[in-house]
Amino acid sequence: MTESQRPLEGQVAIVTGASRGIGRAIAETLAANGARVACIASRVENAEAAASACAALTDGARPFGVDVADTAAVKELVAEIVKDMGGLNLLVNNAGITKDQILMRMQEDDFDRVIDVNLKGTWNFVQAATRTLMKSSGRIVNISSVVGVTGNAGQVNYAASKAGVIGLTKSVAKELAGRGVTCNAIAPGFIETDMTAAIEDKAREELMAAIPLKRIGAATEIAAAVEFLVGPAGGYITGQTLVIDGGLSL
Ligand code: NAP
């Protein structure tokens, strides 16, 4: 892509969970479109390789570390990014975890932690960034999951957190539309990353059989949807949840 074709030139983006998987693909795609990306992971050293990869695509990428569930630390970090990177236009809330267990055996700590990282972590960044995003008529994309729409046995905590992200997305869209800010969610199905690498062969085969397109998705296929939603073509879309699951939820 040449300079003149890069639609996000001059924009600053925050991507959480940017060290690997879907977040890494999103960070690199935004950088390839010209955005200066703040690559965030749980520890700064985890985000360094992603920031270097983004810096090779466009100037100004930087790595940061924070626990997205820590409200005070997120507030401080967002203020630092806005000051040091020259504003904020795009926020992608992608950091997420699973702690799967059947309902009867799930521990309270595992319920709370998944809600804290996946749902409260999203709220932490949206709240900390809202004032700046209102000034820049910015875009927010929150990564939910297809199980936030359909539910899933063994994932009560995760599905609740991801359904919460969809409700949060719709409410933020309504609150901030008057300021020109859009807020959308993406609900991926089964995407090949560290998160899904642990799934055993038998369960993987059953899952593949249930996916009409008969293949696992790639992180770049989620990044392409983010690129669309934050780019010039996505300006009139807000409050929506885009399911990208090879037809799994049909
Ligand atoms: P992944 O490979 O496990 O990567 C998770 C990312 O989140 C890492 O960058 C990790 O940073 C970061 N992270 C986790 N906890 C954090 C915390 N407390 N504070 C800051 N960063 C934290 O995950 P993925 O598969 O790419 O998934 C990305 C998002 O898509 C998640 O929200 C996930 O729920 C969602 N999703 C994934 C799938 C799928 O099939 N893979 C399907 C539906 C939805 P560190 O490297 O520092 O640990």
| Domains of the chain, residue spans | 7-241
Is the shortest distance between the CB of 42 and ligand 1 below 6 Å?
Answer: yes
Confidence at residue 199, expressed as pLDDT on a 0 to 100 scale: 86
| Residue bearing the CA closest to ligand 1, atom 20 | 42
Question: At which residue do the structure tokens 């999103």 appear?
Answer: 26
* Catalytic position from the list 64, 111, 125, 158: 158
What are the tens digits of pLDDT across the range 3-39? 567 999 999 999 999 999 999 999 999 999 999 999 9
Residue 158 annotated among the catalytic residues of the structure? yes
DSSP 136-203: HT-EEEEE--THHHH--TT-HHHHHHHHHHHHHHHHHHHHHGGGT-EEEEEEE-SB-SHHHHTS-HHH
What are the tens digits of pLDDT across the range 101-144? 999 999 999 999 999 999 999 999 999 999 999 999 999 999 99
Cα–ligand 1 centroid distance for 236 (angstroms): 28
Is the shortest distance between the CB of 138 and ligand 1 below 6 Å?
Answer: no
Q: Is the pLDDT of residue 198 over 90?
A: no
Is the shortest distance between the CB of 39 and ligand 1 below 6 Å?
Answer: no
**What single-letter DSSP state applies at residue 191?**
B
Cα–ligand 1 centroid distance for 222 (angstroms): 13
What are the tens digits of pLDDT across the range 135-189? 999 999 999 999 999 999 999 999 999 999 999 999 999 999 999 999 999 999 9
| Residue bearing the CA closest to ligand 1, atom 16 | 42
Confidence at residue 221, expressed as pLDDT on a 0 to 100 scale: 98
Q: Is the pLDDT of residue 2 over 70?
A: no
What are the tens digits of pLDDT across the range 58-75? 999 999 999 999 999 999
**Strand ranges for the chain from DSSP E:** 12-16, 36-41, 62-65, 90-93, 139-143, 182-188, 241-244
Confidence (pTM): 0.98
Cβ atoms 18, 219 nearer than 8 A = no
Mean pLDDT, rounded, for 220-226: 98
Is the domain defined by 7-241 classed in CATH 3.90.550.10?
Answer: no
Confidence at residue 4, expressed as pLDDT on a 0 to 100 scale: 60
Alpha carbon dihedral 119, 190, 139, 72, in 10-degree steps, equals 30
Q: Is the pLDDT of residue 1 over 80?
A: no
